[in-house]
Amino acid sequence: MAAVPSYHLDSLVTQEMLGLDGSDAAEVAIRTLVAGRSLERIADHAGIIGARLLFLLTGDTEHLVSEVR
């Protein structure tokens, strides 16, 4: 399977969840969406950590987002 840009993942997951059927479809969909949200938050935190690390290494604030400054 080829890599999918992250901005397309939300729509892909939504389409997959809408296609589920069976007695446990709602539970699977909810658990998948919660896991996806958690992974998105982890990715956001990783980006902030990376920006802070670049600042520590270079002293340049150019790449820091406003929340970190």
13 within domain boundaries: no
Structural domain includes residue 19:
no
Report the domain count for the chain.
1
- Quick one: pLDDT at residue 5? 67
Give the model's pLDDT for residue 14.
Answer: 79
- Report the pLDDT value the prediction gives residue 42, as an integer from 0 to 100: 92
Query: For residue 7, what pLDDT is reported?
Result: 65
- Which pLDDT does position 32 carry in this prediction? 87
Q: Cβ distance 46 to 65 under 8 Å?
A: no
21-69 pLDDT, tens digit per residue, is 888 888 988 898 888 889 889 988 998 898 889 889 998 888 777 655 5
Domain that residue 48 falls in: 24-69
Residue 40 lies in a domain: yes
